[in-house]
């Protein structure tokens, strides 16, 4: 039995001002973590216990799925990042360090480079495959916007796994095993998480799913169908297109310039005296990628999806061009831009604009637009792509149902990588036929610290955390209501000993505090059961059990209280 006063559980009435979302506030208020610096946290005893619970569930399920646990270094020579080609691709998040000889290292944000180097050296024959190596380890990422506590941190714990197979088919099987393991892991953590199709981004790879926890404060958006037939990150999601079709009827006229003084937005051109509907406008965006300009054409009522765009150009190293760069290239400023007659610059157009006629767009002359524009006739499009973000209500291509949009927290990610890293890092094997082939890889991440916080984000009320029993720091918060009342203390400690003998983890609140304070803290720290022993109930031979999740209060005879607590906990523990 662990005593409250032997730990450090610094509960707070109020959360510090920089905590924006409820789970971040509760992590601090319940004394689970403390901030050292933005995005960098110390885990206090209660936080560490919950974290270990999540880790252990992950470890058990990874082992069950055939994973082999290893531990790789966080400190990695910069050369291996150059070798994989990710030194520049991932440069935004890489922490760089130099040793005494001025040699450059990076702090690992992920471990494809290290594991593939290992596999290149140690795996040589088809007889050694398949293999799935995993670790639970600290990652470092120089996030642009660390925030929301453990959700987006600079230093965080990840479970990362990497599978090596002899063929695509075998890799598919490894992927499926991880997908199933993830489903079990989140279920055992008590979380409502669901898989969605995900963008493979610039890490490459062919196929990927993210596991999402629905939450208004999530940084992702998921498009899904009510019937469950489709769910995808909006970075990837497609639909049959916008509700309003794109006009494709010719006006029979050539592009005609008209004066639009001061009009620099889609909305302004929609208003009188112009009255051009947003779906009749071509929006012209200009980006700079690898020091080359790219014009992107979207329908006026659509948003460019930057993840899709990054996927098409093969890099996330791009930015909007500055007004000066744009003026130098097109002779006009943002708000009056268009691609009619433009040559020598790459022009990407969104699929929604195919066949568009009778459109309006900027004239590349400040204060003027063009109408009667027909995209096929008037604009030289280099490539057509799906670049738009889907909207709620659009029709799903897969199911034919309307799409819904929901915000969510990404807690895990499974990726089919193929041979991208094995080829660049030299991981290959001799097949049964004596032919040397690259290993086929997959990679699989779970944000362990983020998962722990996501559970708090999903399960709380105005009074505090409501831990799922499987990851709660302790199962029972046991307290004598008055520590000066000898009988209460005796009964409570005896009950605690019995519970411990039954394998239940008990936090014994030995504080000499008013009952109100202890009860408030009890709700705040959110252990599944609160058991209080006081003079009044003891007079009737009973102790009080309160179920945190339901608020249900049960008066239980002292003699059978331990059994009843065991039963209650069994009912509270999720098992897939
Ligand atoms: P995000 O889009 O949220 O930045 P990511 O795609 O960069 O995530 P991965 O590289 O797939 O994430 O990492 C695997 C898991 O690690 C993610 O699913 C997430 O749960 C967790 N994770 C990633 N970045 C962070 C971070 N800065 N802080 C905490 N957890 C993180
Ligand atoms: Mg990231």
- Residue 202 confidence (pLDDT): 61
Residue nearest to atom 6 of ligand 1 (CA): 413
At 93-133, the pLDDT tens digits run 999 999 999 999 999 999 999 999 999 999 999 999 999 99
Interval between CA 153 and ligand 1 midpoint (Å): 9
Probe target for ligand 1 pocket from 109, 147, 158, with the most ligand atoms within 8 Å of CB: 158
Q: Is pLDDT of 426 > 80? A: yes
Q: What share of the chain is helix, strand, coil (3-state, %, to 5)?
A: 30, 30, 40
Calculate mean pLDDT across residues 321-328: 96
At 534-554, the pLDDT tens digits run 999 999 999 999 999 999 999
Q: Is the peptide bond before 142 cis (omega within 30 degrees of 0)?
A: no
CA distance 82 to 104: 11
Residue nearest to atom 13 of ligand 1 (CA): 445
Residue nearest to atom 27 of ligand 1 (CA): 152
- Residue 203 confidence (pLDDT): 60
Within 10 Å of residue 201's Cβ, how many Cβ atoms?
17
CA distance 222 to 213: 10
Three-state SS string over 214-275 comes to: ECCCCCEEEEECCCCCCEEECCCCCCCCCCCCCCCCCCCCCCEEEECCCCCCHHHHHCCCCC
Distances (CA, A) of 231 to 226, 251, 315: 9, 40, 25
Interval between CA 453 and ligand 2 midpoint (Å): 17
Interval between CA 29 and ligand 1 midpoint (Å): 25
- Residue 575 confidence (pLDDT): 60
Question: CA torsion sign, 112 to 117 to 121 to 124?
Answer: positive
At 199-215, the pLDDT tens digits run 886 665 668 999 999 99
**Residue 55, C-beta contacts closer than 8 angstroms, at least 6 positions apart:** 136, 157, 159, 448
At 218-269, the pLDDT tens digits run 999 999 999 999 999 999 999 999 999 999 999 999 999 999 999 999 999 9
- Residue 563 confidence (pLDDT): 97
DSSP structure string for 26-56: HHHHTTSEEEEETTEEEEPHHHHHHHHHHHH
At 291-321, the pLDDT tens digits run 999 999 999 999 999 999 999 998 888 999 9
Q: In what order do the strands lie in the sheet with 292-299?
A: 318-320, 282-289, 292-299, 346-350, 383-385
Measured from the Cα of 143, ligand 1's closest atom is 27
Residue nearest to atom 22 of ligand 1 (CA): 447
Question: CA torsion sign, 65 to 70 to 73 to 77?
Answer: negative
Which H/E stretch holds residue 354? none
- Residue 90 confidence (pLDDT): 78
Which H/E stretch holds residue 144? none
Interval between CA 33 and ligand 2 midpoint (Å): 22
3-state secondary structure of 205: coil
Calculate mean pLDDT across residues 52-60: 98
Ligand nearest to the CA of 145: 1
DSSP structure string for 463-489: TEE---GGG-S-SEEEEES-TT-HHHH
Instruction: Give the residue among 245, 239, 208, 156 at the shortest CA–CA distance from 452.
Output: 156
User: Binning pLDDT at 50, 70 and 90, where does residue 379 land?
Assistant: very high
Measured from the Cα of 411, ligand 1's closest atom is 20
Task: Identify the DSSP state of 6.
Answer: G
Residue-wise burial string across 159-180, b where 16 or more C-beta atoms lie within 10 A, e elsewhere: bbbbbbbbeeebbeebbebbbe
User: Binning pLDDT at 50, 70 and 90, where does residue 576 land?
Assistant: low
**Residue 407, C-beta contacts closer than 8 angstroms, at least 6 positions apart:** 214, 215, 216, 217, 218, 219, 220, 221, 222
CA distance 418 to 424: 12
CA distance 7 to 11: 12
**Residue 261, C-beta contacts closer than 8 angstroms, at least 6 positions apart:** 367
- Residue 201 confidence (pLDDT): 67
Interval between CA 154 and ligand 1 midpoint (Å): 11
- Residue 315 confidence (pLDDT): 85
Residue nearest to atom 31 of ligand 1 (CA): 447
Calculate mean pLDDT across residues 20-31: 97
Q: Helix 448-458 to helix 45-64 angle, to the nearest 10 degrees?
A: 110
CA distance 60 to 54: 10
CA distance 372 to 353: 14
């Amino acid at each position: 039995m662990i005593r409250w006063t032997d730990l450090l559980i610094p509960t707070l009435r109020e959360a510090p001002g920089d905590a924006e979302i409820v789970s971040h506030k509760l992590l601090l208020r319940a004394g689970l973590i403390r901030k050292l610096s933005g995005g960098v946290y110390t885990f206090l005893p209660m936080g560490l216990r919950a974290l270990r619970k999540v880790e252990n569930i992950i470890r058990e399920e990874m082992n069950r799925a055939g994973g082999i646990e290893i531990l790789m270094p966080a400190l990695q020579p910069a050369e291996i990042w150059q070798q994989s080609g990710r030194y520049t691709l991932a440069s935004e998040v890489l922490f760089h360090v130099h040793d005494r000889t001025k040699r450059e290292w990076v702090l690992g944000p992920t471990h494809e480079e290290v594991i593939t180097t290992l596999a290149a050296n140690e795996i040589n024959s088809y007889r050694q495959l398949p293999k799935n190596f995993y670790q639970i380890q600290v990652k470092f990422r120089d996030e642009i916007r660390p925030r929301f506590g453990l959700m987006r941190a600079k230093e965080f714990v990840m479970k990362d796994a990497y599978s090596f197979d002899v063929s695509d088919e075998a890799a598919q099987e490894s992927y499926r095993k991880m997908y199933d393991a993830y489903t079990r892991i989140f279920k055992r953590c008590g979380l409502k998480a669901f898989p969605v199709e995900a963008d493979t981004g610039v890490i490459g790879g062919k196929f990927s799913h993210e596991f999402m926890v629905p939450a208004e404060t999530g940084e992702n958006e998921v498009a899904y169908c009510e019937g469950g037939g489709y769910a995808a990150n909006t970075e990837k999601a497609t639909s049959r297109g916008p509700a309003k079709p794109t006009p494709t009827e010719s006006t029979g006229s050539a592009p005609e310039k008209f004066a639009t003084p001061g009009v620099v937005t889609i909305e302004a051109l929609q208003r009188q005296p112009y009255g051009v509907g947003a779906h009749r406008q071509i929006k012209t965006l200009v980006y700079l990628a690898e020091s080359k300009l790219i014009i992107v054409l979207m329908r006026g009522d659509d948003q460019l999806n930057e993840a899709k765009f990054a996927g098409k150009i093969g890099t996330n190293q791009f930015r909007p061009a500055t007004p000066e760069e744009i003026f130098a290239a097109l002779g006009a400023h943002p708000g009056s831009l268009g691609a009619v007659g433009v040559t020598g610059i790459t022009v990407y157009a969104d699929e929604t604009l195919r066949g568009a006629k009778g459109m309006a767009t900027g004239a590349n002359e400040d204060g003027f637009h063009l109408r009667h524009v027909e995209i096929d006739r008037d604009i030289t499009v280099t490539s057509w792509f799906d670049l738009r973000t889907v909207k709620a209500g659009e029709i799903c291509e897969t199911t034919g149902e309307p799409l819904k949009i929901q915000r969510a927290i990404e807690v895990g990610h499974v990726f089919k990588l193929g041979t991208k890293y094995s080829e660049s890092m030299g991981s290959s094997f001799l097949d049964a036929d004596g032919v040397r082939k690259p290993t086929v890889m997959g990679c699989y991440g779970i944000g362990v610290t983020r998962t722990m916080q996501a559970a708090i984000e999903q399960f709380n009320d105005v009074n505090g955390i409501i831990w799922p029993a499987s990851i709660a720091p302790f199962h029972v918060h046991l307290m004598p209501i008055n520590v000066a009342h000898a009988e209460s203390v005796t009964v409570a400690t005896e009950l605690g000993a019995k519970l411990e003998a039954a394998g239940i983890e008990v936090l014994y609140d030995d504080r000499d505090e008013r009952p109100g304070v202890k009860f408030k803290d009890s709700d705040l720290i959110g252990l599944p059961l609160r058991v209080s022993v006081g003079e009044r109930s003891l007079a009737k031979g009973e102790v009080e059990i309160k179920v945190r999740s339901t608020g249900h209060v049960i008066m239980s005879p002292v003699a059978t209280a331990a059994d009843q607590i065991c039963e209650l906990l069994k009912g509270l523990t999720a098992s897939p």
